[in-house]
């Protein structure tokens, strides 16, 4: 069984040893926004949704629960769960989308040193990561901070409720900014410098290690048998990569969900000295990965549909609005007659690290129609991902072929746009919920069903199709990317701040 604690819902699935899904289910929970720029969730809402989804999955699978050999966990990264001595949450968890800790980010650089932070964590300091979020609590909620006994990541709170054990894995820990990514251990230097206690943080395991068993209490709440093994699992980005077979150098994933990421596996750790992209530990033992992240990928398209009224005008019965607009966009020529979209609707992460960045259409004329605007959004998202892919190449990261992931992988047009803009073969695989599927594969290794993740991927991950770059379209996109898209941000940066 794989369990994924996403940003909006918990997803669970059961697969057989060949990777065939037996059943899957999900259950939603809200994001709390008590102030502008804040993003929180109640850890108990994760657990309530997990219980609901697990029960649905077991019923839907018609599998005897005693046949479940192990459970793997995946979850949204960077979040901060604070527990008291009774191991109860002290406050809602601060999650990755939270922006409140910008002054704490500056404080971390001042206290530890910018180069030293990069040398240890291999990452730029960003709001929403555990280190600045925890420092914000220390500075703004001292009575809460004084009662902190343990600090967990989101999926690890679910592990605690399943097993009673307090543990995490190297992939999730490496995205906290409190972890020595090369040594794969908590950084005593950063933790002490920021006034935290080392024993507040859980023991760290490789993602395929067994960290506990389903407890009697959890069994009663979920219908899972007592004693089922629970493996360490990992952050949703690396575990989703496992679910798509991205476990060795040369295979890169391009994920277009609400946000977007490009992800490449490393045999040896590599860091961007210009602080533009991230380096974390992979869920594959002994590997790392390098990742560029954008904040408004599929979110840009959903904003377009919902905000400009297309949802009302297009809806009639059970139709997929994304599919309708995607079909329309196929009629627009590549490059959209010079219309460029910059997807910086909530600021941007890679490569600009700029919370002030804004989205825009550039080059609008009376000849442009909705089909051009839709296609320009799809192209603009891929241009933004290409920015990070260019950094990969600059750092000599091997890119042989690309695996399309997320909602964007469902669109034939969006996959073709990726192939043309990236100038690379783009494949998609027969996996719907990549993170939950990857978590199930990790569980299979932990239970001894597979010898290792290589065997698991070879047995369970199946290629569904491929798109190849078209030379004429490659040339058109390269022109717009090099000569227009890449030049717009540097020209507009100061004006974004004025807004």
Residue position matching structure tokens 């979920």: 222
The residue-averaged pLDDT of 160-174 equals 98
Candidates 156, 236, 272, 420; catalytic one = 236
- Would you say residue 316 has pLDDT above 80? no
Please, are residues 435 and 240 in contact by the beta-carbon 8 Å criterion? yes
pLDDT on residue 315: 61
State whether residue 87 is helix, strand or coil.
coil
> What stretch(es) of the chain map to CATH 3.30.420.40?
2-238, 245-430+469-499
State whether residue 363 is helix, strand or coil.
coil
- Would you say residue 492 has pLDDT above 80? yes
Please, are residues 332 and 375 in contact by the beta-carbon 8 Å criterion? yes
pLDDT one-digit tens code per residue, 190-217: 999 999 999 999 999 999 999 999 999 9
- Residue 451: pLDDT band (50, 70, 90) is very high
DSSP 16: -
Choose between 310 and 218: higher pLDDT. 218
The residue-averaged pLDDT of 146-172 equals 98
- Would you say residue 75 has pLDDT above 80? yes
**Mean pLDDT for the chain?**
94
- Would you say residue 312 has pLDDT above 90? no
Structure tokens at 432: 């719907």
- Would you say residue 47 has pLDDT above 70? yes
Question: Could you check whether the bond before residue 281 is cis, i.e. omega within 30 degrees of 0?
Answer: no
State whether residue 327 is helix, strand or coil.
helix
The CA–CA distances, whole Å, from 228 to 67, 138, 166, 307 equal: 9, 38, 17, 46
Within 13 Å and on the Cβ side, how many CA atoms surround 234? Answer: 33
User: Is 169 designated active site?
Assistant: no
pLDDT on residue 321: 80
pLDDT one-digit tens code per residue, 223-278: 999 999 999 999 999 999 999 999 999 999 999 988 899 999 999 989 998 889 99
Got the DSSP string for 218-285? HHHHH-PPTT-EEE--EEHHHHHHHHTT--STEEEEEEESSSEEEEEEESS----TTS-SEEEE-SST
The residue-averaged pLDDT of 354-370 equals 95
CATH number belonging to domain 245-430+469-499: 3.30.420.40
> 2-238 adopts what CATH topology?
Nucleotidyltransferase; domain 5 (3.30.420)
């Amino acid at each position: 069984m794989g369990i994924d604690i996403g940003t909006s819902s918990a997803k669970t699935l059961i697969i057989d040893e060949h990777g065939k899904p037996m059943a899957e289910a999900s259950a939603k929970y809200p994001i709390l926004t008590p102030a502008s720029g804040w993003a929180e969730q109640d850890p108990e809402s994760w657990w309530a949704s997990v219980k609901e989804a697990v029960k649905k999955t077991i019923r839907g699978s018609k599998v005897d629960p005693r046949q479940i050999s192990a459970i793997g966990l995946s979850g949204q990264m960077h979040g901060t769960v604070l527990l008291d001595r009774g191991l109860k949450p002290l406050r809602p968890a601060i999650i990755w989308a939270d922006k409140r800790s910008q002054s704490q980010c500056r404080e971390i650089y001042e206290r530890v040193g910018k180069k030293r932070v990069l040398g240890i964590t291999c990452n730029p300091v960003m709001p929403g990561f555990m280190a600045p979020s925890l420092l914000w609590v220390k500075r703004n909620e001292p009575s809460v901070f004084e009662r902190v006994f343990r600090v967990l990541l989101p999926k690890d709170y679910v592990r605690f409720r399943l097993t009673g054990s307090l543990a995490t894995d190297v992939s999730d820990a490496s995205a906290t900014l409190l972890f020595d990514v090369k040594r794969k251990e908590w950084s005593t230097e950063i933790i002490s410098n920021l006034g935290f206690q080392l024993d507040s943080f859980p023991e760290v395991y490789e993602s395929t290690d067994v960290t506990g068993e389903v407890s009697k209490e959890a069994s009663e709440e979920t219908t899972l048998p007592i004693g089922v093994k629970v493996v360490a699992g990992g952050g949703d980005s690396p575990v989703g990569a496992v679910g798509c077979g991205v476990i060795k150098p040369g295979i890169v994933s391009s994920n277009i969900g609400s946000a977007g990421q490009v992800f490449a596996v490393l045999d040896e750790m590599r860091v961007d000295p210009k602080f533009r992209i991230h380096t974390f530990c992979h869920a594959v033992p002994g590997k790392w990965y390098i990742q560029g992240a954008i904040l408004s990928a599929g979110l840009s398209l959903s904003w377009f549909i919902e905000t400009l009224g297309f949802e009302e005008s297009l809806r009639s019965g059970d139709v997929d609005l994304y599919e309708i607009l995607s079909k329309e966009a196929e009629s627009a020529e590549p490059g959209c007659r010079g219309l460029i979209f910059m997807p910086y609707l909530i600021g941007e992460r890679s490569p600009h690290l700029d919370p002030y960045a804004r989205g825009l259409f550039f080059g609008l004329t009376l000849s442009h129609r909705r089909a051009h605007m839709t296609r320009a959004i799809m192209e603009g998202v891929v241009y933004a991902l290409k920015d990070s892919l260019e950094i990969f190449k600059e750092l000599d990261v091997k890119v042989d072929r690309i695996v399309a992931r997320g909602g964007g992988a469902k669109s034939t047009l969006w996959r073709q746009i990726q192939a043309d803009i990236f100038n690379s073969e783009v494949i998609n695989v027969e996996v719907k919920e990549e993170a939950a599927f990857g978590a199930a594969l990790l569980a299979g290794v932990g239970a001894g069903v597979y010898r290792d993740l290589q065997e698991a991927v070879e047995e369970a991950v199946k290629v569904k199709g491929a798109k190849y770059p078209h030379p004429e379209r490659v040339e058109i996109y390269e022109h717009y990317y090099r000569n227009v898209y890449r030049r717009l941000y540097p020209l507009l940066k100061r004006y974004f701040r004025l807004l």
